[in-house]
Amino acid sequence: MIAIAVMIATFMEVLDTTVVNVALPHIAGSLAASNDEATWVLTSYLVSNAVVLPATGWLSGFFGRKRFLVSCIVLFTIASGLCGVAGSLGMLIVARVLQGAGGGALQPISQAVLLESFPPAKRGVAMGIFGMGVVVAPIIGPTLGGWITDNYSWRWVFYINLPIGILAILMAQAFIEDPPYIRSAGRGRIDLAGLGLLALWVASLQIMLDKGQDEDWFASRFIQTLAVLAVVGLVAFVTWELITPDPIVNLRIFSNRNFAVGTGLMTVLGAVLYGSITLLPLFLQTLMGYPATQSGLAVSPRGVGSMAAMVVVGRLVGIIDARALIAFGFATLGYSLLLFGNFNLGISTQNIFWPNILNGLGTAFVFVPLTTLTMGTLRNEQMGNATGIFNLLRNLGGGVGISTVTAMLTRRAQAHQFYSVSHLTPFDPAYHHFLQSATGAFGAHSGPITGAGQATGQLYAVLLQQAQLWAYVDMFRLMAVLCFICLPGVLLFRRARAHAGPIMVH
Question: Are residues 363 and 472 located together in one domain of the fold?
Answer: yes
Question: Are residues 120 and 3 located together in one domain of the fold?
Answer: yes
**Dihedral sign, Cα of residue 393, residue 397, residue 403, residue 407:** positive
Can you give the pLDDT at residue 90? 86
Question: Are residues 17 and 145 located together in one domain of the fold?
Answer: yes
Q: How far apart are CA 20 and CA 26, in angstroms?
A: 10
* Residue 238 within a domain: yes
Domain end, chosen from 179, 212, 230, is at: 179
Q: Biggest alpha carbon distance in the chain? A: 88
* Residue 185 within a domain: no
Q: Give per-residue pLDDT as tens, 244-295.
A: 887 878 888 888 889 999 999 999 998 898 888 778 877 887 788 877 667 7
Domain end, chosen from 226, 247, 268, is at: 247
Q: Output the CA torsion 416→421→423→428 (10° steps).
A: 150
Question: Are residues 125 and 238 located together in one domain of the fold?
Answer: no
Is the CB of residue 330 less than 8 Å from the CB of residue 225? no
* Residue 199 within a domain: yes
* Residue 112 within a domain: yes
Residue type for position 497: R
- How many independent structural domains does the chain possess? 3
Question: Are residues 366 and 477 located together in one domain of the fold?
Answer: yes
Residue type for position 298: A
Question: Are residues 81 and 159 located together in one domain of the fold?
Answer: yes
- Within 10 A of 350 (CB to CB), how many other CB atoms are there? 7
DSSP 22: G
Q: Give per-residue pLDDT as tens, 89-144.
A: 888 889 988 998 888 888 788 877 777 777 777 777 777 777 776 766 766 776 77
Entry pTM? 0.77
Kindly report the average pLDDT of the chain as a whole number. 81
Question: Are residues 331 and 219 located together in one domain of the fold?
Answer: no
Q: How far apart are CA 207 and CA 227, in angstroms?
A: 10
Is the CB of residue 323 less than 8 Å from the CB of residue 493? yes
Q: How far apart are CA 285 and CA 299, in angstroms?
A: 12
Residue type for position 63: F
CA 439 vs CA 301, 326, 424, 433, 461: distances in Å:
43, 56, 15, 10, 15
Q: How far apart are CA 169 and CA 162, in angstroms?
A: 11
Q: Name the pLDDT band for 76 (thresholds 50, 70, 90).
A: very high
Q: Which domain holds residue 5?
A: 1-179
Question: Are residues 199 and 288 located together in one domain of the fold?
Answer: no
Q: Name the pLDDT band for 483 (thresholds 50, 70, 90).
A: very high
* Residue 105 within a domain: yes
Of the given ranges (85-94, 164-173, 305-314), which has the lowest mean pLDDT? 305-314
481: pLDDT strictly greater than 90: yes
Is the CB of residue 222 less than 8 Å from the CB of residue 412? no
Can you give the pLDDT at residue 338? 93
Shortest CA distance to 136 belongs to which of 265, 262, 292, 19? 19
How many residues are there in the chain? 506
Q: How far apart are CA 469 and CA 88, in angstroms?
A: 39
Question: Are residues 87 and 233 located together in one domain of the fold?
Answer: no
Question: Are residues 161 and 120 located together in one domain of the fold?
Answer: yes
Domain end, chosen from 247, 270, 285, is at: 247
User: 414 or 380: whose pLDDT is higher?
Assistant: 414
Write the DSSP assignment of 452-470 as a string of letters.
HHHHHHHHHHHHHHHHHHH
Question: Are residues 222 and 291 located together in one domain of the fold?
Answer: no
* Residue 381 within a domain: yes
**Environment class of residue 463 by beta-carbon count within 10 Å: exposed (0-12), middle (13-18) or buried (19+)?**
middle
Question: Are residues 289 and 217 located together in one domain of the fold?
Answer: no
Is the CB of residue 31 less than 8 Å from the CB of residue 86? yes
**Environment class of residue 219 by beta-carbon count within 10 Å: exposed (0-12), middle (13-18) or buried (19+)?**
exposed
Of the given ranges (73-87, 137-151, 202-216), which has the lowest mean pLDDT? 137-151
* Residue 163 within a domain: yes
CATH number at residue 105: 1.20.1250.20
Q: How far apart are CA 127 and CA 325, in angstroms?
A: 14
Q: Tell me how far the alpha carbon of residue 454 is from its chain's centroid.
A: 43
Q: How far apart are CA 265 and CA 381, in angstroms?
A: 23
Q: How far apart are CA 111 and CA 120, in angstroms?
A: 14
Can you give the pLDDT at residue 506? 31
* Residue 184 within a domain: no
Is the CB of residue 7 less than 8 Å from the CB of residue 129? yes
Can you give the pLDDT at residue 35? 62
